[in-house]
Homo-oligomer: A and B are copies of this chain.
Amino acid sequence: MSYNSYGHLLRVITWGESHGPALGCVVDGCPPGIALTPEDIQVWLDRRRPGTSKFVTQRAEPDQVRILSGVFEDARTGGPVTTGTPISLMIENVDQRSKDYSDIAQSFRPGHADYAYFAKYGVRDYRGGGRSSARETASRVAAGAVARKILGSDVVIRAALVQVGAIAVDRSRWDWAETRNNPFWCPDPGTVGLWEEHLGEVRKAGSSVGAIVEVEAVGVPAGWGAPIYAKLDSELASALMSINAAKGVEIGAGFASAALSGEQNADEMRIGGNGQVEFLSNNAGGVLGGISTGQAVTARVAFKPTSSILTPRQSIDEAGKEIEVRTTGRHDPCVALRAAPVVEAMTACVLADAFLMHRAQTGGGAFAPGGRGRS
């Protein structure tokens, strides 16, 4: 219900502005007894951190997370585990440069949330984008780390950048391991150089460019999600579209489904060698009727170009005067370069929530063909 939270049973509320003293989130509804250390969270924050390549903002933020509540020593292991009470996570803002913001304090930057916030609230924290800054996504990544611990190691969630500007990866060369070998989360080593060159030009021109991120979750059992309005794909669409700069979400074959025939689209089923249900294709992206099928859950998210560009653009200000706006300062030429860990985190949160919802209604597990009952 709340404007700044998401999830039904695993409920995350985030707070904080780009240039306030800190930002963070509270994760409520986490099951008890799950081992959780700050390092479990830090590892994911480090992947999203600014300043990791010349193509992302050079703001120097260590993004060090603190766990303020919800974790206590386990009587058996002595190590910290979740207690079932709210987990409060805080990241202090360190590099809020005491820059002079007077030039943009009254201006609406085209493509930014400036005007919309003004129209709605009449007041806004204009420093670094305030609440609408991509810094808010650090809280999402922190929450996602908790969600991953809930899901456990059987569910593997991984994202890759599959298109920058008009340049898409060659899917025949896809190698998930490569996403760790370049600053772009690119799964195709053959495309890395092309992006590097393109982004270099974009950056030099003070321009920006959009991109597409793809995510998959392997190991999701059949039965998660719900048929009508809490559909797993509907929940994913909501969560992924809520990421800054996202403009589109598709599941499985997505928009390409429109041009498929019914024969091409309907993923056929067989019983595999291990006696398990096996699908011969995955146009559905692992979701049928809103419920997971046991296949990999797959989605893609389109991100618009960073709105902050050096080229002057026509705009207006709070006084209603026509002006020109040109955004200087620290900016990513492609905001989506740091979006992959955020997409992963939101996917993890949606899935952990779906797991809890499924366990609530059914007790968990899935019915398997062959009359073997609930697993």
Contact = CB atoms under 8 A, between A and B. Distances in A.
Contacts of A62: none
A218 interface: no
A222 B113 CA distance: 12
Interface in A308-327: 308-309, 311, 313-322
B242 A234 contact: yes
Given A33-B123, A86-B4, A285-B247, A110 B267 contact: yes
Interface in A1-26: 1-6, 8-9, 11, 13-17, 20-24, 26
A267 B122 CA distance: 21
A32 B266 contact: no
A259 to B, nearest CB: 4
Contact of A356 (B21, B32, B226, B361): B361
Given A111-B265, A122-B367, A253 B242 contact: no
Contacts of A303: 257-258
Interface string A340-375: 000000000000000011111111101111110110
Contacts of A229: 2-6, 14, 242
B2 A28 contact: yes
B130 A228 contact: no
Interface stretch (A52-60, A67-75, A151-159): A67-75
Q: How large is the interface on A (under 10, 10 to 19, 20 to 34, 35 or more residues)?
A: 35 or more
Given A28-B5, A118-B367, A374-B122, A207 B263 contact: yes
Nearest to A284: B111
Given A307-B266, A369-B320, A68 B32 contact: no
A132 interface: yes
Interface in A221-253: 222-231, 233-242, 246-253
Interface string A267-285: 1111100010100100111
Contacts of A108: 269, 369
A325 to B, nearest CB: 9
A227 to B, nearest CB: 6
Nearest to A283: B304
B314 A123 contact: no
Nearest to A370: B320
A266 B114 CA distance: 12
A179 interface: no
A88 to B, nearest CB: 4
A357 B360 contact: yes
Given A69-B16, A247-B250, A120 B234 contact: no
A158 B321 CA distance: 33
Nearest to A355: B360
A294 B116 CA distance: 9
Contacts of A212: 255, 258
A53 B72 CA distance: 32
A83 B86 CA distance: 25
A226 to B, nearest CB: 4
A368 B115 CA distance: 9
A75 B123 contact: yes
A182 interface: no
23 contacts: A3-B226, A6-B229, A11-B13, A32-B122, A72-B125, A84-B362, A115-B269, A116-B223, A116-B293, A119-B222, A119-B294, A120-B367, A165-B259, A210-B260, A210-B265, A211-B258, A231-B241, A234-B242, A238-B238, A255-B302, A261-B305, A359-B359, A363-B364
